[in-house]
Amino acid sequence: MGRPTLHLLCGKIASGKSTLARELAAGPETLLVSEDAFMAALFPDEIHTLEDFRIRSARLETALKPHIAAILQEGLSVVLDFHANTRARRDWARTIVEAAGADAILHWIDVPDAVCKARLRARNAAGTHEYAASDAQFDQFTAHFLPPQPEENWVVDHIRVSNG
């Protein structure tokens, strides 16, 4: 058995991050940690703006970081279903990888905006997700999206999706 791996997910809203996270977590000795599940349970009806999300997400990051590192140190891999859509979020994840002495893979799901929005509308209509986001919120969050850059030195699994 190799070193445990931290799986990170990069992709816009409704790109398929949580679906891929569940698939990856089905592997042996792998644990799924879902930001949306924690946020919905800890901060119900408190997230209405990007700033609301940032504040509460930072609190969650602080609380979970040592636990995620400990899980990796125990030899289990972790699928971190937290968006890794900004350099700051990826830098935070890097500190976990370094503290745990683990490997890491950044799964970048590259989906056109129109496809994401169509998926988002379908997901909202089905009521199958903890959060329903509008097209305007999609645009607001997407404005902060930064794909992984070569100088970040991640092992990247680039998954390109051209249509739904």
What does the pLDDT read at residue 131? 65
**What element of type H or E holds 31?**
strand 30-34
Confidence of residue 164 (pLDDT cuts 50, 70, 90): low
pTM of structure: 0.89
For the beta carbon of residue 92, count every other beta carbon within 10 angstroms.
17
Q: Are 109 and 37 within 8 A, CB to CB?
A: no
Mean pLDDT over all residues of the chain?
90
Please give the average per-residue pLDDT across 35-59, as a whole number: 89
Domain enclosing residue 63, as ranges = 5-160
For the beta carbon of residue 45, count every other beta carbon within 10 angstroms.
6
For the chain, what is the domain count? 1
What does the pLDDT read at residue 126? 72
Enumerate residues 6+ apart whose C-beta is below 8 A from 133.
13, 14, 120, 124, 141
CATH at 40: 3.40.50.300
- For residue range 122-158, what is the model confidence (pLDDT) as tens digits? 877 876 766 667 778 778 888 889 999 999 999 999 9
For the beta carbon of residue 88, count every other beta carbon within 10 angstroms.
14
Residue 21: half-sphere exposure toward Cβ, Cα within 13 Å: 24
What does the pLDDT read at residue 81? 93
